[in-house]
Structure 1
């Protein structure tokens, strides 16, 4: 058995949600309304994100990149957490519903590219197009786009101890299959609603402390 951690990016590693912030800043008002449709479950995550970004001209690539990088705050304790899991020889993968043009630059000083899984962005056409390289396998029918349970199945074995760290609707399905959940914000509320056991956290120091006490003993 191995311990494997699957960690969200936007709103978890970062203080804010970059997808939401980009839509608010660069998409027309009609696209912004899709955010609530996704959160309410009226449309799939893939459909919602795809439609929202398809309203943004590809010429905005550099402006969007600069916007995100200049405003991103990494949650306290993340760098020490990376060192901690490396020392413990625990495999960590960042699994993000975010987009490569900002996820990779932000994380380049923290993790190797192989540990970062996210969606690809295509700026070659008039408007932004997203490529879903980690879409749902035959075991998931939720049209996730970035399907985190599919990623978990691909990169773990059935006897592994799975830890999920997240904050949003994109983390809910993988959280349902985890052995241990660290949750905040929307995911925390859904865990309570669905009676999923979880550990709340504010920063990565909290997570490291809990792992030292409850898992890596």
Structure 2
């Protein structure tokens, strides 16, 4: 039995929540009340994100990609953690409620990601329409995840490996309960404390690499 890594993208690989940043940049007034509803848990992430992207004209696709690649910072130490995982033969999965069309260009600068689980966006109309590519399986208690991280973990974890979960916020809460090792930042730290989950807080990916080296001695 080994390990696999399940790493969030928005606000974890990146230092900002990419979706929120995109909305504030391109549709700030229209998106603000929806973002507040999501953060307050008044609506599901799936409903909220669907509504957010429906605000954005498909003509802005390339502008959004350019903004994401050039303006959204990646957290320090990401490539070094990928290198460590590869050296230790640990599969590294990016599991995100975000969209391939801006995640993949950001990740193209890095090497060592095993697979990216994210969502597609239908660009055939005047406005963007999210296709939720990874729905909840029958074992999920929520059935409203949007991108269901526990369901993805059950699908990829063929060897019953211990799961290392790295995340920051709402979409990582259910996966946090599946973790053998949990690394948290921002709101996920508060959640882990409130639910008595064992966790390691981090600011950079260097913090995670150092801790994993200790664990695997």
Tell me, yes or no, if the aligned pair for 2:183 and 2:202 is still in contact at 8 Å: yes
Gaps of 5+ in 1: none
Q: Deviations over 1:32-59 (max 9, x none)?
A: 2111211221111110000011011111
**Matches of 2:82 and 2:165 in 1, distance apart?**
15
Q: Which moved more, 1:32-41 or 1:165-174?
A: 32-41
Gaps of 5+ in 2: none
CA deviation after TM superposition for structure 1 residue 95, in Å: 0.6
3-state DSSP of counterpart to 1:33: helix
Answering whether residue 143 of structure 2 is matched by residue 137 of structure 1, we say no
Question: TM-score, with normalisation over the residues of structure 2?
Answer: 0.95
Match of 2:60?
Answer: 60
Matched residues, number: 216
RMSD, aligned α-carbons: 1.5
1:137-216 alignment, distance < 5 Å: 137-140=137-140, 141-157=142-158, 159-214=160-215, 216=216
Aligned-residue offset at 1:159? 3.1
Pairing 1:2-21 to 2, within 5 Å after superposition: 2-21=2-21
TM-score scaled by structure 1? 0.95
CA distance in 2, matches of 1:78, 1:26: 27
Offset of 1:142 from its aligned partner?
3.9
Query: 1:32·1:52 contact (CA, 8 Å) conserved in 2?
Result: no
Query: Structure 1 residue runs of 4+, over 4 Å off?
Result: none
